[in-house]
A and B are shown apart, each in its own frame.
Chain A
Amino acid sequence: MVTFIYFNYMITENNNSFLRIEREDLQGLIEALAESGYRVIGPTVRDGAIVYDEVEKLDDLPAGWTDEQQPGSYRLKRRDDRALFGFNVGPHSWKKFLHPPNLRLFQAKRNDKGFEISNDNQPAPDLVFLGVRACELHAIAIQDKVFINGPYVDSVYGERREKAFVVAVNCGQAGGTCFCTSMKTGPRAESGFDIALTEVIETDQHYFVAEAGSERGVEILEKTRTRKADESEKKKAVEIVEFAASRMGRNLDTTGIKELLYRNHDHPRWEDVASRCLTCANCTMACPTCFCTTVEDTTDLTGDHAERWRRWDSCFTTDFSYIHGGSMRVSVKSRYRQWMTHKLAAWIDQFGTSGCVGCGRCITWCPAGIDITEEAAAIRKNELQRENKEQQDGNA
């Protein structure tokens, strides 16, 4: 029996724990982690995007790259500095390491008594997540509620989650589709990390301000070349994040959003968005909190060996809600509505938190450029008019 204790992160109010790490010494941090038996996963440039993959050395990080994001568009661009984390979130999220896209649940073999079932779950890998943004920390905390805090525990997720060593990086800029300030999930990493870094770049110096968020974070920092950060360095780190907060590309008014969406099930805007949505499911795959899965059964040619696999699924397919006699959500309208209403409303009833962290992935990676913030605003706008109208009617 595995017991899950995650939040062994300590609150770091103690300012003495802020350290300065020179840019080149980040290599030492990566090495210290590797020596402790971890495989380090972090941002790297591949096929024109910044994705999360194995990182062995500093040079594997996207030095001098940034991204430009708008609804339906993502482009890498050169920066005029050597920033290692000078971009926002890409198409990948940490979800693929914690909640595998494809997982064999079990194998079944025929025997003289019928058949037997076994699973060969491998022990979870020891991974470091290097470069986790504030919104992503919140996304992980949200998936914790789904997978670990319910009546049944997803032990695959649980074990991976327990092992993962989290190095957060505070954002120094905001992307064109970011709205974490609206969702109160960023841009500062407040908790849920082992180490948090802020990258500071000035004409003559380039360093990180680091803070430990757990015992193991302290231990790794002890093995890395650092020195105490002084007051002005700490101040700069704070200002950098404040700057990012002032540059949000998008904004979502969350006031009473649950009730707003529940009572607008029949809003004409759903038809409007349905005329643009291709039901490609990109948004759900890219979203760091979407957790739905389906199962698939296979047999080999002999028919004596069967397997059951779990795969990521999306509420944008008609199969998703199929029951004998037909799908429950036939229209595109009903599927987009299910997704957005789940994210922004039902999630609150189910898990006590919004299902959206404002990372902007669903906006950037939607081929039709559909923007969740714009859809929510459109419903709110007409709704307001309707309420005003009712008031006027009442007064007349």
Chain B
Amino acid sequence: MNDPMMPSIWRIKNYRTETADTFTIDLVNEHGQDGMTGMHFQPGQFNMLYLFGAGESAISISGDPRNKDVLTHTVRAVGTVTRALARLKRGDVIGVRGPYGSPWPVVEAIGNDVLIVAGGIGLAPLRPVIYHLIAEREKYGKVTLLYGARSPVDILFRQELEKWRGRFDMQVEATVDNARQGQTWHGNAGVVTGLIPRAGFDPSQTTVMICGPELMMRFTIIELQKRGIEEDAIHVSMERNMKCAIGLCGHCQLGPEFICKNGPVFRFDRIRDSFRKREI
């Protein structure tokens, strides 16, 4: 079965509710490669998840790349397929094809400070990077995570964030756009760019990875450039409609790039021109 449009069958081993609209599923493939129930992947890659009769969605892998027992995805329910996925439960099966796309530059970043900026569900595609950095902590300089969510109840992976914040070798800052909603919040308020002045990094030796809404990425890049970060040190993950994920359907084009095969992670200078154009 080497037709790249044919999904394989995976079973939901665990289902976790993360926030009101976001959930995480751990999948296992009973007939996986070399007896493995998980999947080989690089941080930043995504899969196409197929729900029986409903369709497919592009979803990044949010688990630990070292864990070969399960394949983990974190999904925000926004439309037809993702809402239907949210109604699944432990033991149900879905179709999966992948992994697809370019990885975050965790290899290129060796020896550098690493600055991660995430907005909303954008933390999910970056979580494999954090797992990787922690596993190989000695290879990197300062590691900083700046995270922005809409409100305190929308904060993703809250327990893990607390745990990471407690480490001596990592700086974690979180902020919410709207602090009044939901539970009490004693942290920062305002957009994620407001956290940048607190981050400790050496602009000449920093690798930046950003994932979130395009507007948030745009303002983050402007702030970082003001602080002396070069365009070729910045990496972003782009999102466009995707039907095939293998470079054949044409939907994900961004100027000359196919986001599914040349991205979704791009070094910013490579897509700068398209990034600035409206309705491209």
The chain A residues found within 8 Å of chain B, CB to CB, are: 1, 105-106, 108, 110, 113-117, 119, 121, 146-147, 150-155, 262, 265, 291-295, 297-299, 303, 306, 308, 310, 313, 315, 320-324, 328-331, 333-334, 337-338, 342, 345-346, 349-350
Contact = CB atoms under 8 A, between A and B. Distances in A.
B249 A116 contact: no
Contacts of B256: 345-346, 349-350
B29 to A, nearest CB: 12
Given A151-B261, A265-B280, A297 B251 contact: no
Q: Mostly helix, strand, loop or mixed at chain B's interface?
A: loop
A161 to B, nearest CB: 14
Given A298-B53, A315-B250, A265 B277 contact: yes
Contacts of B280: 265, 328, 334, 338
Q: Mostly helix, strand, loop or mixed at chain A's interface?
A: mixed
A198 B59 CA distance: 53
Interface stretch (B64-72, B183-191, B192-200, B236-244): B236-244
A346 B255 contact: yes
Contacts of A299: 52-53
Max chain B Cβ within 10 angstroms of own Cβ: one of A114, A313, A322: A114
A322 B52 contact: no
Given A334-B278, A342-B253, 18 more contacts: A108-B52, A108-B95, A113-B93, A114-B9, A114-B92, A114-B93, A115-B9, A115-B93, A151-B247, A155-B3, A293-B243, A299-B53, A306-B52, A308-B55, A321-B240, A323-B240, A328-B241, A346-B255
Contacts of B244: 293, 295
B26 interface: no
Max chain B Cβ within 10 angstroms of own Cβ: one of A106, A146, A147, A291: A106
Nearest to A265: B277
A292 B249 contact: yes
A277 to B, nearest CB: 15
Contacts of B241: 320-323, 328
B248 A147 contact: yes
A371 to B, nearest CB: 23
B92 A292 contact: no
B247 A105 contact: no
Nearest to A296: B55
Nearest to B76: A324
B240 A303 contact: no
Contact of B248 (A154, A320, A329, A333): A154
A156 B23 CA distance: 37
Contacts of A323: 239-241
B53 A152 contact: no
A309 to B, nearest CB: 11
B271 interface: no
Nearest to A150: B247
Contacts of A329: 279
